[in-house]
């Protein structure tokens, strides 16, 4: 790392040191020894507030990191998610003189570049800010990259890369996997978001895909006033999509608006393969006629055909309530470990589907499933591969927006109807029939080939010439751990007996040396049975359920009930 990066590393470390110490004490009360501590929901919330303050203090890069973390329930518990969602509204704009310098470096004198320019920004983000101007007698929105952000981001990315190995001892295996993918995702996303050439390209491509759709509006790019650091677009006003009272005053059907929003994202992800990946309420607006407006395409992504097909399989399995199909789709996408306990995960998925459908769920059933999950929390098998992280971000944030518009919105029904209209359900039914016919054909062929092979095998048994070879597969190293424990146990036993015999023989020095060695062996044996502890996060499925959990938490503490749950 450079000298600047080293200085920045110590600034970052100082900000996060109290949290790291707290997490270390959760594993061992006195840092190097002691039992684990139980952390209450209120304590996690206080720590989340500390983390929020630290991210704001560290500036734009870490604010963007916090925004990304707010959509990753596989990394942080719900208390942290709830606090970090505040970051989208707490980014102060850069001083106007600095922003003006960026514009004039790219486009020349401001008076020549635009007919008129309002120096008060209408929107501030972690990497850029937006102004309103006049160009060729048209009102335009001008997005300006934050001054000096490039070097700061490069430095902070080095710091994050250097710091990641130091964080691993504080988290569990599942969260360690997610942290690594998050770091890779963040590095890619933040570099792409700073490239306004790329944003303009993605905006045009998505706009072309919805040319004939009158229900949505995507602003056009003004090419002659756009560069890698400046993006000038058509200005489109509207009511923020989360302002439900104002939307009602316009007479817009909020349920239909939510349906349009979900269908647009299904088309982007499942059909087009290119999508707007930042659908928080600040980037969505509604015109008086009900048209849905999209802003800010800095965070956008692509989906390859393999992932598209698996997502379709996933939605079809949900529509059919085919739990095995859901699990198979998750495994094929790399989101679920193949070694997962299918029965536990099946119960979890049943609960998630019931929650998504708004069905009443018995509290004892929730507690039963939570208990099953907590029994395996340190090896919890849900993962987020990098190619799916943005897709999940879209799904969770869109869900939150749709529920804000209509608390009774049925995601599964809308997705099922969309897939049916696109012909996916019919294709799935035909594929199912073709697969069953193929299975019957293979079964008939096998029944014809089986008798001769069976007769040959029985003849070999009769001649005592049948040899059976077996190979033991132990990918998790279970037998290695057992062997290590046996050796350590035997060593400890021998050491203790030797200590006693040497003590009886009045060889105090020898007894002391052997006793010390036995203590070391005992510690190693004890540690081999210890499970790793770190930030404990329960699985979450819907952001709405997560909010409901927080709202109901105070009333449920008396009977220790826990509810399962899942915006930038």
CA 231 to chain centre: 29
How far is Cα 194 from Cα 183, in angstroms, rounded to an integer? Answer: 17
Q: Is 403 helix (H, G, I), strand (E, B) or coil?
A: helix
Q: Buried b vs exposed e over 170-183: b needs ≥16 C-beta within 10 Å? A: bbbebbbbbbebbb
Token duo for residue 488: 């350590």
Phi, psi at 301, each rounded to 5°:
-150, 175
What is the pairing mode between strands 138-145 and 128-135?
antiparallel
Confirm if 140 and 235 have CB atoms less than 8 A apart. yes
Q: Is 60 exposed, middle or buried (0-12, 13-18, 19+ CB in 10 A)?
A: buried
Confirm if 218 and 94 have CB atoms less than 8 A apart. no
Confirm if 297 and 206 have CB atoms less than 8 A apart. yes
How far is Cα 196 from Cα 185, in angstroms, rounded to an integer? Answer: 18
- Name the DSSP letter for residue 336: B
Candidates 372, 392, 374; CA nearest to 383 is 392
- Name the DSSP letter for residue 229: S
Token duo for residue 349: 């998925």
Token duo for residue 251: 């007479």
Confirm if 147 and 105 have CB atoms less than 8 A apart. no
64's CB contacts (< 8 A; 6+ apart) are 126, 127, 186, 190, 193
How far is Cα 339 from Cα 348, in angstroms, rounded to an integer? Answer: 16
Q: Assess whether 278 carries a catalytic annotation.
A: yes
Of the listed 74, 156, 278, 296, which one is catalytic? 278
Q: Is 32 exposed, middle or buried (0-12, 13-18, 19+ CB in 10 A)?
A: exposed
Confirm if 300 and 277 have CB atoms less than 8 A apart. yes
How far is Cα 150 from Cα 288, in angstroms, rounded to an integer? Answer: 39
How far is Cα 101 from Cα 97, in angstroms, rounded to an integer? Answer: 6
215's CB contacts (< 8 A; 6+ apart) are 260, 264, 290, 291, 292
Confirm if 534 and 27 have CB atoms less than 8 A apart. yes
User: Which 3-state string (H, E, C) describes 159-228?
Assistant: HHHHHHHHHHHHCCHHHHHHHHHHHHHHHHHHHHHHCHHHHHHHHHHHHHHCCCCCCEECCCECHHHCCC
Catalytic machinery residues: 278
């Amino acid at each position: 790392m450079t000298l600047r990066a080293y200085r920045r590393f110590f600034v970052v470390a100082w900000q996060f040191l109290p949290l790291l110490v707290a997490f270390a004490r959760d594993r061992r009360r006195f840092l190097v020894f002691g039992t684990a501590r139980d952390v209450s929901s209120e304590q996690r919330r206080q720590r989340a507030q500390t983390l929020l303050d630290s991210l704001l203090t560290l500036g734009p890069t870490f604010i963007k990191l916090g925004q990304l973390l707010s959509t990753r329930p596989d990394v942080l518990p719900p208390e942290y998610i709830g606090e970090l969602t505040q970051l989208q509204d707490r980014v102060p704009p850069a001083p106007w003189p600095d922003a003006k310098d960026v514009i004039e470096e790219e486009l020349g004198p401001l008076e020549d570049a635009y007919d008129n320019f309002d120096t008060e920004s209408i929107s501030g983000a972690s990497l850029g800010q937006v102004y309103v101007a006049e160009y060729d007698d048209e009102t335009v929105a001008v997005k300006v990259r934050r001054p000096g952000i490039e070097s700061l981001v490069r430095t902070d990315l080095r710091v994050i890369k250097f710091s990641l190995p130091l964080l691993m001892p504080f988290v569990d295996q599942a969260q360690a996997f997610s942290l690594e993918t998050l770091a890779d995702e963040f590095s890619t996303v933040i570099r792409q978001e700073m490239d306004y050439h790329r944003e303009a390209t993605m905006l045009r491509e998505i706009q072309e895909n919805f040319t004939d759709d009158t229900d949505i509006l995507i602003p056009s790019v003004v090419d002659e006033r756009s560069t890698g650091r400046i993006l000038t677009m058509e200005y489109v006003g509207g009511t923020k999509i989360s302002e439900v009272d104002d939307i009602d005053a316009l007479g817009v059907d909020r349920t239909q608006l939510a349906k349009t929003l979900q269908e647009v994202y299904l088309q982007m992800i499942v059909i087009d393969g290119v999508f707007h990946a930042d659908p928080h309420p600040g980037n969505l607006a509604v015109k008086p006629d009900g048209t849905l407006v999209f802003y800010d395409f800095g965070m956008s992504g692509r989906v390859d055909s393999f992932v598209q097909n698996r997502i379709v399989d996933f939605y079809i399995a949900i529509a059919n309530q085919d739990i095995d199909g859901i699990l198979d789709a998750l495994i094929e996408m790399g989101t679920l470990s193949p070694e997962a306990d299918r029965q536990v995960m099946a119960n979890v998925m049943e609960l998630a589907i019931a929650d998504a459908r708004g069905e009443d769920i018995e509290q004892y059933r929730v507690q039963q499933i939570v208990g099953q999950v907590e029994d395996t929390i340190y090896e919890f098998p849900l993962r987020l591969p990098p190619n799916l992280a943005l897709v999940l971000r879209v799904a969770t944030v869109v869900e939150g927006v749709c529920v804000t518009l209509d608390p009774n919105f049925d995601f599964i029904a809308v997705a099922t109807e969309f897939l049916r209209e696109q012909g996916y359900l019919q294709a799935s039914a035909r594929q199912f029939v073709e697969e069953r016919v193929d299975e019957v054909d293979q079964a008939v062929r096998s029944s014809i080939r089986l008798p001769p092979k069976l007769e040959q095998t029985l003849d070999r048994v009769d001649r005592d010439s049948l040899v059976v070879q077996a190979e033991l597969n132990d990918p998790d190293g279970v037998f290695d751990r057992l062997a290590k424990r046996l050796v350590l146990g035997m060593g400890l036993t021998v050491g203790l007996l030797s200590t006693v015999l040497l003590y009886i023989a009045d060889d105090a020095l020898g007894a002391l040396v052997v006793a010390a060695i036995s203590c070391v062996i005992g510690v190693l044996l004890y540690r081999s049975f210890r499970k790793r502890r770190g930030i404990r996060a329960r699985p979450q499925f819907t952001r709405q359920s997560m909010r409901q959990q927080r709202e109901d938490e105070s009333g449920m503490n008396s009977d220790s009930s826990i509810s399962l749950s899942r915006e930038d």
